[in-house]
């Protein structure tokens, strides 16, 4: 009843939130570099405030992040000390192709990641690599309009061919696009899209989505051709939607909200657009430009597994409600009175995690991989210079127990678990360092000031015990 043999325990980061070194090693500028810290962060993320260059008067957290670019060996050594079996990280696209449309990749960028992957293997850690964690070289936004252009598929193909070829034997597990459904909610942050006032936003977003889905299928095809051992997954920002009341309208609204995310994974996992999505686009007046070869590519090259992030469940209502609302991983939701919330208002729901796993496995019958889950909180040092983050341990313990039950009681096939922000990094939602997720404290503040010193927290030692026992402690509950 412990976790399955070979279960991949580990942690997760993203290049734009931890790497830094934005102007080192020949790297180019990317959309994610231009999301500032402060009140205009989400105006830029949603594309309602244009930032195509660094501007005076703003702090850009991704410039430095936690400078893992120069400290990855020390950080991976700490992951190894915790016993990580896998480490999920992402590629900065503009480190490989600085402008995005070059014909030849940047050797310095390839060598950097080769060094990272070799360092992982030195400790027996399997890299799990997200090809695109929201990154788009800013030149591709300026010159081509990012994913609204079909030419992006060609540029993405060059990227994946370079990665699969160079890292054959070093990387087996790949994810094509991080939280692919976030393009609907934050088009610039998630996909480098800027939607002009005169444009039909739905038309732009859904056409961009189609291009990403085709690119994902093409990447899956190429990955399997270059190395049959490659396993390629999709990645969804997940979380069950509860109806606010038993009223049939609320129940149907919750179904509709679930479908907003499932439609992406339906295509990547089943190989075709579901009928409800086609009807939705028809009702929105969206007409997709679809090449006949797209249909064949989508159908023949579906993903090997389903990965997802889970932070909280959501509550949906068909009619406006006086009930308080909250944010949950950038998805608006009514407040669930039965749940506690984090310091940032995210609803804490381990049973919702188990529900989400069951919904995904029932729907797709493909292996699952939890690649993000964690608690953002303010951490403080004691007088003895320690961090006793028992609140984080409580959160993780409850969610890992939910995974245990999903596997052993419900029959869900789960390959691994990489908790989010295994080392403190810049928060994607707020741009803050003070919203900490990690097992390892990093001495930077919200303005990027500090020594960068790494310090294990109490949760570091707790998670080390979880991994060492393969989750045996959860059989006692």
Active-site annotation, residues: 179, 372
Residue 156 and residue 201 in contact, taking contact as beta carbons nearer than 8 Å:
no
Residue among 341, 204, 316, 339 at smallest CA distance from 258: 316
- H/E stretch holding 11 reads strand 8-12
Residue among 204, 129, 152, 182 at smallest CA distance from 328: 182
- Paired residues of 271 in beta bridges: none
Residue among 178, 195, 300 at smallest CA distance from 233: 178
Residue 195 and residue 47 in contact, taking contact as beta carbons nearer than 8 Å:
yes
- H/E stretch holding 43 reads helix 41-45
Q: Who's near 255: CB < 8 A, 6+ residues apart?
A: 241
Residue among 29, 17, 30 at smallest CA distance from 67: 17
Q: How far apart are CA 178 and CA 157, in angstroms?
A: 17
- CA angle at residue 339 from 333 to 343, to 5 degrees? 75
Q: How far apart are CA 37 and CA 55, in angstroms?
A: 12
Q: How far apart are CA 253 and CA 280, in angstroms?
A: 14
Give Cα separations from 347 to 67, 353, 420 (angstroms): 31, 11, 16
Q: Which two tokens stand for residue 205?
A: 């977003």
Give Cα separations from 109 to 11, 19, 101, 171 (angstroms): 23, 12, 15, 16
Residue 360 and residue 413 in contact, taking contact as beta carbons nearer than 8 Å:
no
Residue 274 and residue 266 in contact, taking contact as beta carbons nearer than 8 Å:
yes
Write the DSSP assignment of 51-82 as a string of letters: -SS--TT-B-GGGTTT-HHHHHHHHHHHHHHH
């Amino acid at each position: 009843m412990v976790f399955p043999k070979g279960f991949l325990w580990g942690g997760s980061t993203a290049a734009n939130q931890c790497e830094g070194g934005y102007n080192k090693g020949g790297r180019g500028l990317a959309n994610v570099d231009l999301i500032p810290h402060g009140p205009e962060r989400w105006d830029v993320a949603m594309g309602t405030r244009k930032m195509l260059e660094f501007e005076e008067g703003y702090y850009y957290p991704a410039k430095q992040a936690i400078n893992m670019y120069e400290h990855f060996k020390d950080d991976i050594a700490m992951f190894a000390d915790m016993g990580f079996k896998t480490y999920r990280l992402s590629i900065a696209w503009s480190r490989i192709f600085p402008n995005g449309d070059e014909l030849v990749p940047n050797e310095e960028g390839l060598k950097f990641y080769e060094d990272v992957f070799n360092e992982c293997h030195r400790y027996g850690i399997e890299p799990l690599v997200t090809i695109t964690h929201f990154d788009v070289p800013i030149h591709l936004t300026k010159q081509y309009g990012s994913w609204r252009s079909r030419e992006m598929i060609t540029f993405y193909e060059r990227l994946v061919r370079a990665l699969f070829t160079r890292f054959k034997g070093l990387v087996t597990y790949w994810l094509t696009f991080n939280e692919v459904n976030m393009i609907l909610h934050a088009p610039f942050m998630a996909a480098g899209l800027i939607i002009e006032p005169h444009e039909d936003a739905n038309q732009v977003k859904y056409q961009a989505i189609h291009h990403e889905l085709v690119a994902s299928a093409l990447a899956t095809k190429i990955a399997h051709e270059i190395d049959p051992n490659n396993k390629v997954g999709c990645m969804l920002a997940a979380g069950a939607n509860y109806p606010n009341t038993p009223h049939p309208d609320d129940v149907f609204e919750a179904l509709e909200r679930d479908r907003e995310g499932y439609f992406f994974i339906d295509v990547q996992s089943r190989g075709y657009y579901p009928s409800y999505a086609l009807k939705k686009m028809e009702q929105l007046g969206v007409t997709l430009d679809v090449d006949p070869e797209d249909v064949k590519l989508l159908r023949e090259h579906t993903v090997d597994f389903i990965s997802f992030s889970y932070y909280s469940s959501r509550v949906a209502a068909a009619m406006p409600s006086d009930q308080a609302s909250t944010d949950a991983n950038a998805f608006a939701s009514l407040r669930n009175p039965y749940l506690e919330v984090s310091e940032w208002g995210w609803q804490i729901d381990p049973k919702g995690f188990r529900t989400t796993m069951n919904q995904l496995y029932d729907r797709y019958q493909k292996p699952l991989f939890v690649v993000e889950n964690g608690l953002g909180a303010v951490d403080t040092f004691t007088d003895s210079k320690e961090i006793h983050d028992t609140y984080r341990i409580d959160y993780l313990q409850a969610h890992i127990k939910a995974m245990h039950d999903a596997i052993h009681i419900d029959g869900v096939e789960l390959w691994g678990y990489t908790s989010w922000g295994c080392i403190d990094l810049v928060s994607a939602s707020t741009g803050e360092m003070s919203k900490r997720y990690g097992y390892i404290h990093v001495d930077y503040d919200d303005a990027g000031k500090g020594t960068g010193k790494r310090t294990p927290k109490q949760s570091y030692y707790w998670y080390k015990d979880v991994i060492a026992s393969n989750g045996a402690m959860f059989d006692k509950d």
